[in-house]
Structure 1
Amino acid sequence: MNEPRLRIATYNLQKCVGLDMRRRPDRSLQVINALKADLVVLQEVDKRLPPRPAALPHDLVERDGWQILPFGAPGGSLGWHGNAMLARPSLTVRQTRHVELPGLEPRGAVMADLETCLGPLRVVGVHLGLVRRYRLLQMKAVMRAVARSEAMPLVLAGDFNEWRPPAALRDAAGDVEFAPTPASYPALRPVGRLDRIAHCAQLDVAAIGVHRAKPAHIASDHLPVWADVTRHP
C-alpha cells in the first residue's frame, strides 16, 4: 500500500516581479500551479507600501481552485507581513494565527492548523530577517508560539535568509529537522539554500526538490522548493 504523501512547497514571489522587471502575477501563478502541491507557503506576496495590496490578486488565485488562508485583510493583502498560504480543497483549515517576530524591521510568521491526509498538521510560514542575530531571535519566537499551542506534527517552511548550513537555526528550533533542500537563490544560478523546509520527528520527507522549469527561472529571484511529507513509521 502506498503511504499518504502531502506535498508542501515554499516560494518567495518577489511581489510577482520577475528578473525581467515585469510584474506578472499570472506568471507567478503558473509556477505555483506547476508545483502540484497540496499547500504552498508564500513570501513577498503583497506590495510593499501601505495598505499593502495583494501582488497576487485574490480572484486570480481562487479561479485556479486554491483556498486562500485568512492571514490578510479581506479584499486587500493576501498575507501578513507578506506571508501567505494557499491550500487545495482537500485540506481543511482548522485555525490560523499570526506570530509577531522581533527585529529591526517589521516581520511576522503565519501559522495554520490543518486536517490533511497525514492527519492533523501545523504549518508555519516564515520570512526571517537579514541580520543573523535577529534571525535566531525570530526562530526562537516561532518555536515559543508553537509550544504555546496544541501539540501536533509540525512543518516549518519559508525563506530563512540563512546562507550558512543551518546549525544555528537548528539550535534555535529545538528538535526540528531541516530537510536537505537544494539551492534556490538566485534563480538563474542558484547557490544559496535560503528557502528551506523543516519538520518534527513525527514526520519524514520522502522526496524533495527545487522547481527549475520555465518560467520559474525568470518569474522571481528565488526558485520554489517542494517536499513530499509522510508520517514517520
Structure 2
Amino acid sequence: MHAGNSSTPADRSTPELRVLTYNIHKGFCTGNRRFILDGIRQRIVESRADLVFLQEVHGAAQFSPRRRQRFTYPEEPHFEYLADQVWPHFAYARNAIYRKGDHGNALLSRYPILDSENIDVSLFPRSSRSILHSVLEVPRLGTRLHTLCVHLGLLERERRTQLQTLVRRIEAHVPHGEPLILAGDFNDWRQRGARYLEANLDLQEVFMALRGQHARTFPVWAPMFPVDRIYYRGLQAVSCQRLGDGHWRDLSDHAALLGCFTL
C-alpha cells in the first residue's frame, strides 16, 4: 500500500462533499485500443470531486518497447499522475500483482488522510480483490470521515464472502457516530449484495435514496448493469449523477458516478 502527499497541498472549505467513483480499466478504453489516462484525468478534474474512489488503477507498470512506441505512459504511478496538483492527498493499495506491475484501488483526496489500510479479500489466485479503508480529517465536519474503496469479485459466492468481511470490518473499525462513504465496483448486478449491506450496516446508496434505483454503469455505451455504487452513512445526500455521456463515453468501459453530500 502507498499513501502520500503531493508537493502543493490545498485545503478547500466547502459546504458540500463531492464524491466520484470510477473503474478506470487500467487507463485503457474499451477493447484496449487506446491508452486514455490523460482524458480520464481531464474528466475527473472537471467533476470538481473532493474525493475520488478509483478501481483498476496502475501503481507500478512496465510496458514493452513496442507498447511504449504505440502509447505514451506517465513515468510516475498512475494514481499520482491522476492526483496531479488537484488532490494533494492520496492512498493506493495493490490488489493484483504480476510480473510487470500491479494495479488496485486508490483514493484521491483534497483532505488529509490520517490512516489507510488495505484488506485483502481475495478468494482465488486469479481474482485478486481488496478493500482500501482510509480515515480522513475533513475541515468543518467536526469528526473523522471513513472511506472504503472496494472492488469485489465477479462470482456471487466470491462476493458473498467478501461482503461478510466488509461488514465485519466496518462494524469493528468504524464507530457509528463517525460518517462513512463506501464506494466502488461491487459487481453486484443482481443487487443481492445491496440488500445485505443495507440490512447489516444501516447504509443508504445515493442513487437509490434520491432516484429510487441504482445507476446502471456497465457497459458505458449501453448501460445495463448497476455494478458501481456510492453508499453513505452519517451524511445527507444532495444530488447524484451518472457520468457516461459525451467525452466520458470514450474512456473506460464503466460510467463514473458522482454524489454530493452536505457536511
- TM class, shorter-chain normalised? 0.7 to 0.9
| 2:194 paired with 1:169 | yes
- Indicate if the aligned counterparts of 1:9 and 1:225 stay in contact, CA closer than 8 A: yes
Structure 1 moving runs of 4+ over 4 Å: 47-51
Amino acid at match of 2:182: L
Give the Cα–Cα distance (whole angstroms) in 2 for the partners of residues 230 and 159 of structure 1.
23
Select 1:6's aligned residue among 17, 29, 37.
Answer: 17
- Indicate if the aligned counterparts of 1:6 and 1:118 stay in contact, CA closer than 8 A: no
Equivalent residue number for residue 146 of structure 2: 122
Q: Deviations over 1:74-116 (max 9, x none)?
A: xxxxxx851001112xx12111111121422221110111122
Normalized per residue, which structure has more helix?
2
Amino acid at match of 1:126: V
Number of equivalenced pairs = 218
Give the Cα–Cα distance (whole angstroms) in 1 for the partners of residues 76 and 220 of structure 2.
23
Give the Cα–Cα distance (whole angstroms) in 1 for the partners of residues 91 and 62 of structure 2.
18
Equivalent residue number for residue 229 of structure 2: 196
- Structure 2: tracts of 5 or more residues without a match: 1-13, 64-74, 95-101, 209-213
Equivalent residue number for residue 91 of structure 2: 70
Distance 1:49 1:217, change over 3 A: same
- Indicate if the aligned counterparts of 2:20 and 2:257 stay in contact, CA closer than 8 A: yes
- Structure 1: tracts of 5 or more residues without a match: 74-79
- Indicate if the aligned counterparts of 1:46 and 1:54 stay in contact, CA closer than 8 A: no
Distance 1:130 1:49, change over 3 A: farther
Equivalent residue number for residue 155 of structure 2: 131
For 2:195, what is the secondary structure of its paired residue? helix
Equivalent residue number for residue 44 of structure 2: 32
Equivalent residue number for residue 222 of structure 1: 254
Equivalent residue number for residue 216 of structure 2: 183
Distance 1:219 1:126, change over 3 A: same
* Cα drift, residue 192 of structure 1: 1.4
Q: Deviations over 1:166-225 (max 9, x none)?
A: 34433246122223242111111212111101112x222111111134321011001110
TM-score, normalisation: structure 1: 0.83
Equivalent residue number for residue 165 of structure 2: 141
Give the Cα–Cα distance (whole angstroms) in 2 for the partners of residues 150 and 9 of structure 1.
21
Amino acid at match of 1:133: R
Equivalent residue number for residue 123 of structure 2: 103
- What RMSD, in angstroms, separates the aligned Cα atoms of the two structures? 2.8
- Indicate if the aligned counterparts of 1:25 and 1:57 stay in contact, CA closer than 8 A: no
Q: Deviations over 1:21-44 (max 9, x none)?
A: 201210111121122110000000
- Indicate if the aligned counterparts of 1:128 and 1:135 stay in contact, CA closer than 8 A: yes
TM-score, normalisation: structure 2: 0.74
Amino acid at match of 2:252: S
% same residue: 29
Give the Cα–Cα distance (whole angstroms) in 2 for the partners of residues 219 and 144 of structure 1.
35
Q: Deviations over 1:44-74 (max 9, x none)?
A: 00179789x977262x33433223523348x
- Indicate if the aligned counterparts of 1:170 and 1:177 stay in contact, CA closer than 8 A: no
